[in-house]
Structure 1
Amino acid sequence: MKYGNRKTKVQRILSRVLILLACSLLLSACNEKEEDNGFPDEQNAVVFNGRVVNSDGIGIKDVKLHVDFIDARLFSSLTRKKSETKTDQNGNYQLKFYVRADEDTLFKQHLPYVAYRLTADASKLSADKYLLPEDATYQMEIYGRPDASEQVDCMIPECRKIDVTLTGFSTQDYSNNEFYISIKTPAGFFSKDEKGIRHFYSSYGKDYKATQPNVHYTILLAVNDSAEVMVLRQKNGKGNQVWKKIYIGKTSPTSLTFDYNAAD
């Protein structure tokens, strides 16, 4: 009986190892990455044109861009590299690729799970000068087959440091009382409507929370643009949320203060 029990334990251990190995192989097989090896097919050509600019509309050179086909269906995840380029001296770029037959079929059958992903890699830009996400990339996804020609621009704002203070918050009951700000800055890929108004596909954002009466943060904000600041004050379980637009110039403001007890 003792020998039999030992054998059962060994079998269980081996079974777990085999399951983990199978899961590991399944995950590695599911996250495939491949180069596009299709032949040029001008009838199915797509061209993305655009500019990468700062907040003043000045072009930014040498920003790398690439477009990938993404198949995010469960157990069949695939990233297919379609095309890559970089911006010229004036920030202009052009990406040309070809829609393959299997991609077209997947768009028709599994639209919510497949897309073309356009990425601007700003890792070569200075994080002290430009407002960059943590991974230094801006992305957008195009669901469905794109038009033969697509105009997509990208804004990477210049930024400067602002001293931000959250004041007046003092409590022992953190479950019913809360004070924080959420700052969102339009950035990344955008398109313009007939009136020339920009519509962004994403925004750069981060939350800053008060945990004591006076908390100080040094925050990077885009210059020559309006930052959207959401101020949330929760007192005794009742929350009050206020949105503010604050224009950040080249030199002012140098600091911002938000008071937990303010009337707004």
Structure 2
Amino acid sequence: MKNLFRIFALMFIFASCSKTEDDTNDQCTGNCTILKGNFVTLNTEPVPNVKVSMKYIKSNELAFYSRKLVDTKSDQNGNFNSNFFIKDNEIGNTGGYFHIDIDDSNIDVNKYIRTNNLIGNTTTDIGFAIFSITNRDTIIDKTFYIPKKAYIKVNLNNFTPLQSDDYFEVQTLYPFGPKIGVNTFLNSEYSTGFSGYGNWRATNNNNLLNVFVAEGENNVIRILRRKNGVNTSEDISIFIPQNNTIELTYDF
């Protein structure tokens, strides 16, 4: 009973020491920090209506503090730009951090590969954290790539599992997310996104799957097998043209 009382007491203390502020409507008029960037797709076409938000967060076992600094979205040119003011106790190594969240749920899931493609475990979150900003005149400038979505056909044939946990699946990897300069894996200047991971699996002896890929880009088609308890992986690099009729076939 005493332990239960201590738990409730700690919960009460934590709740009473938690604070959340929203300063996104405040206008910064001097000593501003800038969060800016753009979202592009194939042939550097702009991607509008991607939401961008930013918070300062500081927490420990007894207290939680959050201050929302930015709440904006990309315009018709794919650009976003927001000024905000960093408080004195948020500058430098404060024990807190700044988190930038990217929400692409408003863009067309049939046209673009998003962070959530409505099939379960799909492309990685492209939000990021900044653990220290030392000067108020800092400019945070980021470019993000949102691929155009295309489909290829993949045949996974002769799936005859020998053990109950055997599997046969396809995954796709493609340029996605922040501009990083050099991605030798995909011969791209953007980071790597991925889809699949348990969603495109063989369930019968022969399976025809419609698998999405990034149009106009180098993709990697990854074939994973667990056969008689032994795991193997096979990567196939392939360029996806517009209006492709690509069909690939693999045997278990």
Q: TM-score, normalised by structure 2?
A: 0.75
What is residue 150 of structure 2 aligned with on the other side? 160
SS of 2:127's equivalent in the other structure is: strand
Query: Of the two, which has the highest radius of gyration?
Result: 1
Q: Deviations over 1:132-155 (max 9, x none)?
A: 122897422223227712320111
Q: Report the number of matched residues.
A: 237
Give matches, 1:173-252, under 5 Å.
Answer: 173-175=163-165, 177-192=166-181, 198-200=189-191, 203-207=193-197, 208-252=200-244
Aligned amino acid, residue 163 of structure 1: K
Aligned amino acid, residue 189 of structure 1: P
Distance (Å, rounded) in 2 between the aligned partners of 1:151 and 1:135:
26
Please say if 1:130 is aligned against 2:112. Answer: yes
Distance (Å, rounded) in 2 between the aligned partners of 1:123 and 1:204:
17
Q: Deviations over 1:6-43 (max 9, x none)?
A: xxxxxx6x986x67865765675677532138884744
1:185: how far off?
Answer: 2.6
State whether residues 228 and 246 of structure 1, in contact with CA within 8 Å, keep that contact through their aligned partners in structure 2: yes
What is residue 99 of structure 2 aligned with on the other side? 117
What is residue 4 of structure 1 aligned with on the other side? none
SS of 2:90's equivalent in the other structure is: helix
What is residue 78 of structure 2 aligned with on the other side? 91
What is residue 50 of structure 1 aligned with on the other side? 37
1:126: how far off?
Answer: 1.2
1:109: how far off?
Answer: 5.1
* CA pair 217-85 structure 1, distance change in 2 beyond 3 A: same
Give structure 2 stretches of 5+ with no counterpart: 119-124
What is residue 141 of structure 1 aligned with on the other side? 129
Distance (Å, rounded) in 1 between the aligned partners of 2:115 and 2:13:
31
SS of 1:209's equivalent in the other structure is: coil
Distance (Å, rounded) in 2 between the aligned partners of 1:214 and 1:146:
58
SS of 1:256's equivalent in the other structure is: strand
Q: TM-score, normalised by structure 1?
A: 0.72
Match of 2:23 among 29, 36, 46: 36
Q: Deviations over 1:61-103 (max 9, x none)?
A: 2333222223354454444211122223221221222222222
Q: Deviations over 1:206-262 (max 9, x none)?
A: 2133343223333332211122232222333332222222222211144333322xx
State whether residues 163 and 227 of structure 2, in contact with CA within 8 Å, keep that contact through their aligned partners in structure 1: no
State whether residues 151 and 191 of structure 1, in contact with CA within 8 Å, keep that contact through their aligned partners in structure 2: no
Distance (Å, rounded) in 1 between the aligned partners of 2:231 and 2:132:
40
State whether residues 225 and 248 of structure 1, in contact with CA within 8 Å, keep that contact through their aligned partners in structure 2: yes
RMSD over equivalenced CA pairs, Å: 3.4
